[in-house]
Amino acid sequence: MKTEVILTHNIIGLGGESDQVKVAAGYARNYLFPQRLAIPLTHANKRRIEALKQRRAEREAHEFNTMSELAKGVTKLICVIKVKTGEDGKMFGTVTAGMIADELKHQFDITLDKRKIHLAHPIRTLGEQEVELRLHHDVNAMLKLRIESTNPLPAATEAPAAPEGREGREGRVSEKRGKARHAEGETAPAGEKAEATEKKPKAAKAEKAPKAEKPAKKAKAEKAE
């Protein structure tokens, strides 16, 4: 059974203030009337229609201004949506209007009815996307989304170098010391010099040849005989 009522508040999907609509009698009796969202359609209540129309015009003007400002702001934002993906990078499920509305509230403290978020097609891939926001019947805006995975693939790491042997390390140290001394003009320490001298074999001294006997002494010896 249907009954006619006058709406006193805007109800999405049903109407706005001053609208006369037919609804189920139980819906009106159990919800609309107790919540003061509507009043029964009577001659006495019809007098309130003009006042309700004025209130509706003020509400719609306020909503238009509010949504126009919001439209300017959201076009500068990037809303990040985190989703689960498999090892191949494919998403599990799709991004919904409810998820976007939740992130707008969480990231930017923007409260927006998810019914104002229009998804032209299901979002099933990572990367940047754009969705339309139908904020008001005269105000639309585009919101940028960045769809990111909650479990990105780990970056490749280089294999650690093999440990260097003792001989290789000592050789590098000796080479660095030699280069440093050459650059600074250093001389080897006395200990190292002595060690180098000892290692060099000493040259053998040449034996002295016997002196030749003088001829004069030989002649005197012959006369004496």
Q: What is the CATH number of the domain that holds 77?
A: 3.10.430.100
Q: Residue for token digits 């229609």?
A: 49
How far, in Å, CA of 15 to CA of 157, rounded? Answer: 61
Instruction: State both tokens at 14.
Output: 């049903």
Local structure of 11: helix, strand or coil: strand
> Domain containing 7 — which CATH number?
3.40.5.10
The number of folded domains in the chain is 2
- Under DSSP, the state recorded for 85 is B
Residues 142 and 80 reside in one and the same domain: yes
Looking at the fold, whether 75 and 37 belong to one and the same domain comes out as: no
Q: Which domain holds residue 43?
A: 2-47
57 vs 117: CA distance, rounded Å: 24
Q: What is the pLDDT of residues 23-78, one digit of tens each?
A: 999 999 999 999 999 999 998 898 899 999 999 999 999 999 999 999 999 999 99
Q: Any bridge partners for residue 131, and if so which? A: 143
- Give the mean model confidence (pLDDT) for residues 190-194: 47
Are 84 and 92 a contacting pair, CB within 8 Å?
Answer: yes
Structural domain contains residue 185: no
Q: Where are the alpha helices (DSSP H) in the chain?
A: 25-27, 43-46, 49-74, 97-108, 166-184, 190-199, 215-224
CB 92 within 8 A of CB 150: no
Q: In the block, which residue shows the tokens 């191949």?
A: 88
Chain centroid to CA 27: how far? Answer: 50
pLDDT digit string (tens) for 108-134? 999 999 999 999 899 999 999 999 999
With respect to residue 17, please indicate whether it lies within any of the assigned structural domains. Answer: yes
pLDDT in tens, 126-161: 999 999 999 998 999 999 999 999 885 555 445 455
Query: Residue 147: which of 171, 169, 172, 122 has the closest Cα?
Result: 122
User: Which residue is it, tokens 């019809």?
Assistant: 46
